[in-house]
Amino acid sequence: MGVLPKRIILMRHGESQGNLDTSAYTTTPDHSIQLTPQGIAQARLAGANLRRVVSGEGCSPDWRIYFYVSPYARTRSTLREVGRAFSKKRVIGVREESRVREQDFANFQVQERMKIIKETRERFGRFFYRFPEGESAADVFDRISGFFESLWRDIDLNRLHLDPSNDLNLVIVSHGLTSRIFLMKWFKWTVEQFEQLNNFGNCEFRVIQQGSGGEYSLAVHHTEEEMLEWGLSPDMIADQKWRATAPRGAWNDQCSWYLDAFFDQLASESDDDDDEDIQNEK
């Protein structure tokens, strides 16, 4: 096993021309949409805030950071501005990762048609609705699952060549929906829970951090109030708090969506009693 990251940080890109005016998508490919001046300023500020997170109290003095970035122009520009907050010594490297790109909404977008499509998505369900000629959030989930495999191989094989005494921070500069899908996959949230989540703000980030027992949690860095604002339910927040001190690999028996949410009622008899009942029925 390689060096486990101290933190995995998900960051959405800064304000883009498409965020400011959706008509930009009618003439400019989604992957070519640029940041606005405000988006550039947001990214620079986010870089300073990010540095404070990874270098603050309790951090190893020899911390390092590695970036994964979506190939879209707005995410790469965001990373460029974020990078101004870090010295070359601190940055292990960067990888452009196409699997953390934006959900595919098809090609050039027609404003009026897209408005109707998004209204239909709300009625159909945000996770399963597939944009005509594009992707559903479920499709994004599948490619994020593939990215997870590569991420863990990078860690297992120590491809980042990190000294074990250093804190490793992985930062993924991506998009709002893609980042929410990452959280869904990481914490094994259900489709219903995903659909409750609110989008990230521009250059907002979420910190998944190792707790005292080795498990990863949002509650190590973030407050309950923040998680409520993001759309996490009380049960989801309780699970994050449990994870903040849980041993790595432990199973939260009190987590309803791991078991109870799928059954009306499970019998309380022991397995031996069940086997005896089966034998009596034969």
Q: Helix 137-156 to helix 176-187 angle, to the nearest 10 degrees?
A: 60
Q: Are 200 and 235 in contact (CB under 8 A)?
A: no
Residue 230, token pair as written in the block: 């993001």
Give the whole-angstrom CA distance, residue 209 versus residue 120. Answer: 37
Q: Which amino acid is at 62?
A: D
Q: Which residue has the tokens 């989604």?
A: 30
Active site residues: 13, 102
Q: Helix 73-82 to helix 37-55 angle, to the nearest 10 degrees?
A: 50
Nearest-5° Cα angle at 197, 167 to 82: 40
Backbone angles phi, psi at 167, to 5 degrees: -75, 130
CA Rg, the chain, in Å? 21
Residue 127: CB atoms within 10 Å: 19
Cβ neighbors of 183 (< 8 A, separation 6 or more) are: 10, 189, 197, 206, 208, 218
Residue 184, token pair as written in the block: 């869904």
> Checking DSSP bridges between strand 216-217 and strand 168-174, what pairing results, if any?
unpaired
Give the whole-angstrom CA distance, residue 153 versus residue 145. Answer: 13
Give the whole-angstrom CA distance, residue 148 versus residue 99. Answer: 10
